[in-house]
Structure 1
Amino acid sequence: MNTYKCLHFKYIDMQQLLDTAEKIRTMEIRGAGRIAEAASAALRDYVLRIKVTNIKDFNKKVDEAANILIQTRPTAVSLPNAVQLTKRHTATEVSEAREEILRNADRFLEQAGQALEKMGEIGAKRIHDGDVIMTHCNSHAALSVITTAFEQGKDISVIATESRPRRQGLITIKELNDHGIPTTLIVDSAVRYCMKDVDTVIVGADAITINGALVNKVGTSQLALAANEARKNLLCVAETFKFSPKTIQGDMIDIEERSPEEVIDSDILAGMPNVKVKNPAFDITPAEYIDMIITEVGAFPPQMAYTIIKEHLGWEFTKMG
């Protein structure tokens, strides 16, 4: 039986939160930013339903709910960051703690909504009239830059990868088409061949480490390597909550391995006992392949990742669990 369905019977007051957790796990809710917002909202709504008077019991329930959300997607750093930013409080009374968490969630959701617009404005300054842009997967952050540049009247076009195995690129080309932006869809393995026609590569992020490395949809490092070889700029667009504080302590970011059934039908695979499938959802792009990281607070070289973590997430070494 599914873990979350089992939990439903044990924690009946968590139904809505468990539903959100399941949607995140199965990628019904996808994209690092959208995952973060959904988790923050789910925790906020759950806190409203907690019926305890003891602060220790309250904190235990909040931690329990937070862990359920965090465990759904191990790579998307935006998820634990959003949960931690939402749940932290200094209150000693339940009513005060509840109010503080609600304020945290409302603030996070408001800032997350504003971040896309700010990143679009900042990143669009890096786009020139006539540019051909290559993008990968389906990143609202990356698309905010592309659509903002187009709305500014810049004559641009986009090459979008299919982004297998889940083909998120099909979502991207639909959104670009709806904006009226000329777009070409390519298979992932055509990236190097098509790079000669590209001016700038723009991608999103699921996590950014202390040394400025980018963790993103598998295939991103292929784009970065091809762009570097062809001497084309690569811009990463990411909200500050996608930076990973735990990497300051030396923690590694887990790369999520997803089901082989996303790649090949299980019945076909069952008939080939000597074959196994490796399906990593993400890969790691070294900082030296990234020209600039666009955030809602400005554009930075990847070497400034530590500054972003310390000043904008506000977590010191000793405060990170």
Structure 2
Amino acid sequence: MPNFGQTDINAQGIFTKLLTSDSDKSTGLAAIETLMEVLKTSDANTLSELTHKLDDAVGAMLKTDYSSASLQSASELFLRFISLISKEALLVDPDFEHVKQEYIKRGNIFIERIRKSRQIIASCFRPFIRSNLKILTHSFSKVVLESLLEAKSRGCNFHVFTTESQPDRSGRKMYEVLQKHEIQSTLVLDSAVGYLMEQIDFVVFGAEGVMETGGIINKIGTLGVAICAKAMNKPVYVMAESIKFVKEYPLNQSDIPDKFKYRYSTLQTNKDELKNEHPLTDYTPPQYLNLLITDLGIFTPAAVGDELIKLYT
């Protein structure tokens, strides 16, 4: 049996370096680029061995404190996409190196498509935003930020209310970037959402993962904001790249895998005392969401399951 330990170490290092060196890079894209590097540099001699190395690389990346929902979904979709050619290619040409080159070729196609995801989502978002709107967002989302910046560049003047988003105050980061780009914005307490909601035109979230149910996993507090918006008849939109579509079907909060709710380091050190740990994410069911804006198009939550089937077949 080959020793894959070195692949684990290299994959984790590459993945971490990609994210720390580029603050705009998404966790999912960094995971895919890491797998691509493992693929290119692998000394595997068979398809089975190569598959093991790639799977081990995914396992190594999951042993970090980055979003495991985004990481898992992106990795699964990437590996599924590149391996769709394996049976056909082996029948035509059984030479492993040629198959590996096909994997690399398809991998490059996949990466180029994903790199354009945020631009496509921003384009899809254009009909929803105009001047004088009041928008509420929760936490920090790179895809939401890019869409708002794109709207600002087109001359739209709107006001963004962003929650402080405790316990890590990630909403403050969103607020500071919006201020830097001269977008009218206000930082509000998480507990002020109910008071504020009657003024809001719509709510927009990012997502760490889009579930097969059409619901989302996102920063803790997302569910509360969505419930409040639903009660006051305010539309809730979610922006998410298609690599965040996850093959999970949670029905309630307890169905969310622990790896989606807690950091890897927390699970390793306090796995027997999780009841005392603050979860980082919650699950927002599809009935509280109006539309999902993705690089594949705009969907109702009910349509997500169909799109997942297309992605995985």
1:273 aligns with: none
Matched with 1:280 is 279
Partner of 1:297: 296
Please point out which of 254, 257, 264 is paired with 1:254. 257
Amino acid aligned to 1:18 = Q
Partner Cα distance (2:290, 2:57) in 1: 38
Question: 1: CA distance between counterparts of 2:23 and 2:205?
Answer: 12
- Give the letter aligned to residue 254 of structure 1: P
Q: What secondary structure does 1:122 align onto?
A: helix
1:284 counterpart SS class: strand
**Counterpart selection for 2:133 from 123, 128, 131:** 131
Find 1:145's aligned residue among 141, 144, 147. 147
CA distance in 2, matches of 1:309, 1:222: 26
* Secondary structure of 2:56's aligned partner: helix
Amino acid at match of 1:42: T
Which amino acid counterpart does residue 49 of structure 2 have in structure 1? D
Residues 218 and 50 (structure 1), Cα distance of their counterparts in 2 relative to 1, 3 Å cut: same
C-alpha distance 277-117 of structure 1, shift in aligned 2 (>3 A): same
Return the offset for 1:140.
1.5
> How much identity, in percent, do the aligned residues show?
24
Q: Distance in 1 between matches of 2:64 and 2:11?
A: 12
**Residue of structure 2 aligned with 1:19, choices 6, 13, 17:** 13
Q: 1:77 to 1:114 in 2, by over 3 A?
A: same
1:165, 1:30 → 2: CA distance? 24
Give 1:293 shift.
Answer: 0.8
Is 1:63 the equivalent of 2:55?
Answer: yes
Q: Residue by residue, what CA displacement relative to the aligned partner does 1:129-154 show, whole Å, maximum 9, x if unpaired? A: 21011111111122233222222212
1:96 Cα shift?
A: 2.7
Structure 1 163/230 Cα, relative in aligned 2: closer, same or farther at 3 Å?
Answer: same
Change (3 A) 1:164 1:101: farther
CA distance in 2 between counterparts of 1:43 and 1:164 reads 33
Contact 2:198–2:232 (Cα < 8 Å) also in 1: yes
Aligned pairs for 1:95-134 within 5 A: 95-134=97-136
Aligned equivalents of 1:243 and 1:74: distance in 2?
A: 17
1:49 equivalent in structure 2: 41
Matched, 1:239 2:241: yes
Unaligned runs of 5+ in 1: 1-8, 263-275, 317-321
By how many angstroms is 1:219 displaced?
Answer: 0.5
Deviation string 1:251-270 (CA, Å, 9 cap, x unpaired) is: x54143437x99xxxxxxxx
Task: Indicate how the Cα distance of structure 1 residues 222 and 31 shifts in structure 2: closer, same or farther if over 3 A, else same.
Answer: farther
Q: Secondary structure at the match of 1:212?
A: coil
Distance in 2 (alpha carbons) for counterparts of 1:137 and 1:23 = 24
SS of residue in 1 equivalent to 2:167: coil
What per-residue deviation string (whole Å, max 9, x for no partner) do you get for residues 145-191 of structure 1? 32222222122011111212222212212221222101111122221
Could you say which residue in structure 2 is the equivalent of 1:6? Answer: none
1:26-58 superposed Cα distances (whole Å, 9 cap, x missing partner): x96999971111111111112222223233323
2:47 maps to amino acid = I
Q: Describe the shift of the 1:309–1:282 C-alpha distance in structure 2 as closer, same or farther (beyond 3 A).
A: same
Aligned with 2:135: secondary structure? strand
Q: Give the AA of the match of 2:56.
A: E
Quote how far apart the aligned CAs of 1:207 are: 1.5
Residue 307 of structure 1 pairs with residue 306 of structure 2: yes
Distance 1:149 1:195 in 2: 22
Aligned to 1:125, the other structure's residue is in SS state helix
Q: Deviations over 1:41-77 (max 9, x none)?
A: 1111122222232333233222222222245469644
Partners of 1:28 and 1:189 in 2: how far apart? Answer: 32
Match for 2:207 among 185, 205, 208?
Answer: 205
- 1:158-173 equivalences under 5 Å are 158-173=160-175
CA distance 1:257–1:214, change in 2 (3 Å): closer
What is the root-mean-square deviation of aligned Cα atoms in Å? 3.3
Name the aligned partner's letter for residue 179 of structure 1: H
